[in-house]
């Protein structure tokens, strides 16, 4: 064994992850950075990974780094099943654009997604919904869908990621977040809320009932950590919309999930100053990705004031500090401040993900700080 028994490389990180969220870690924290963007961008461009990671896949890189992974790959374990009358198909428009079409007995909707040559992401050129009739089609579909568990997917992911952290999933976005990000865009969604509120309110209710059916499947599964993958941004979702739509749905979800002993958190990855005052009202166990200055719009101290001693922080270190243009001393001081303020209710990570310009040596650097801290509190 190299290093101390408390070092991440010498631990079952799945057990440590569970101990942290259950308050049984004896003060230790877990280092769980997300580096998938860094990895995927290089694979997309066909670049060779730097030494010593050359030829490694993502699980091997995490094991080489000696840190935990937030295992969202388990999302494939939950499968949405549409009414058999729903027909889905697509076709390529050109090298960068694909049209997706859904036909139902009550109408047809379509979207156009655009890719690009620099990264693997796709973006909506034409949204799924642009009018009230489209929302009625989506309501019909959502009202009739069911959800099921895929054991084969779970077993396969467990073989790939076993020992690196607890299996984790994120639920579909709630009401306004789903409307803005998945269906209509911010401008179109905002107009829809005010132009045809009855259709939107009915869709939100149907969506909530569909997600409740999903939660029953989640509660019967072995997945312990549930994320609300909402990508909340105070500049998009106002406090008024947040209080009217998001908080009631969060409270409902958390009551259902907590009955089954699930640990819950939500993904707030934009400017969050306007929303932080409501953090404790949501019924969550923690919040993920809140980003401090100089990248976000809040300080570490402001996050702590909003969370108090009740909520876990997941992440906490601004992603830009993993780039070499920022002094290593700033990364070190920020890391230590986050640990000082939030441990042991802390799953330390990168807010939100390390970019393509990040340096994996800095991931190891933070890992050493965490291991030193865990060795100290374990004495």
Which pLDDT score is estimated for 1?
60
CATH architecture of the domain with residue range 8-84+131-377:
Alpha-Beta Barrel (3.20)
- Tokens 């009217």, residue located: 244
- Which residues of the chain fall short of a pLDDT of 50? none
State residue 95's pLDDT score. 95
Q: What is the pTM of this model?
A: 0.96
């Amino acid at each position: 064994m190299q290093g101390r028994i408390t070092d991440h490389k010498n631990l079952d990180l799945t057990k440590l992850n569970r101990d942290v969220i259950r308050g049984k870690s004896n003060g230790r924290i877990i280092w769980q950075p997300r580096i998938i963007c860094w990895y995927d961008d290089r694979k997309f461009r066909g670049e060779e990974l730097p030494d010593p990671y050359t030829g490694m896949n993502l699980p091997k890189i995490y094991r080489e780094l000696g840190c935990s992974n937030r295992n969202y790959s388990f999302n494939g374990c939950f499968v949405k099943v549409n009414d058999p009358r729903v027909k889905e198909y697509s076709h390529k428009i050109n090298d960068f654009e694909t049209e997706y079409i859904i036909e139902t007995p009550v109408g047809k909707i379509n979207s156009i997604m655009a890719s690009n040559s620099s990264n693997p992401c796709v973006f909506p050129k034409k949204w799924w919904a642009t009018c009230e009739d489209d929302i009625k089609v989506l309501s019909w579909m959502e009202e009739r869908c069911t959800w099921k568990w895929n054991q084969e997917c779970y077993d396969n992911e467990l073989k790939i990621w076993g020992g690196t952290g607890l299996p984790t999933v994120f639920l579909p976005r709630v009401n306004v977040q789903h409307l803005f990000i998945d269906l209509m865009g911010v401008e179109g969604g905002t107009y829809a809320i005010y132009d045809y509120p009855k259709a939107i309110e009915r869709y939100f209710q149907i969506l909530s009932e569909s997600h409740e059916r999903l939660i029953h499947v989640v509660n019967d599964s072995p997945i312990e950590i549930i994320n609300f993958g909402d990508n909340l941004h105070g500049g998009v979702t106002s406090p008024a919309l947040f209080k009217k739509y998001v908080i009631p749905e969060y409270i409902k979800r958390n009551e259902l999930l907590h009955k089954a002993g699930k640990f819950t958190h939500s993904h707030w990855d934009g400017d969050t100053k306007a929303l932080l005052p409501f953090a404790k009202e949501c019924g969550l166990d923690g919040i993920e990705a809140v980003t401090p200055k100089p990248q976000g719009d809040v300080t570490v101290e402001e996050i702590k004031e909003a969370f108090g001693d009740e909520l876990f922080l997941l992440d906490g270190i601004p992603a830009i500090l993993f780039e070499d243009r920022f002094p290593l001393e700033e990364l070190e001081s920020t890391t230590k401040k986050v640990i000082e303020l939030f441990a042991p209710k802390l799953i330390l990570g990168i807010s939100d993900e390390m970019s393509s310009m990040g340096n994996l040596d800095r991931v190891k650097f933070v890992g050493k700080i965490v291991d030193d801290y865990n060795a100290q509190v374990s004495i």
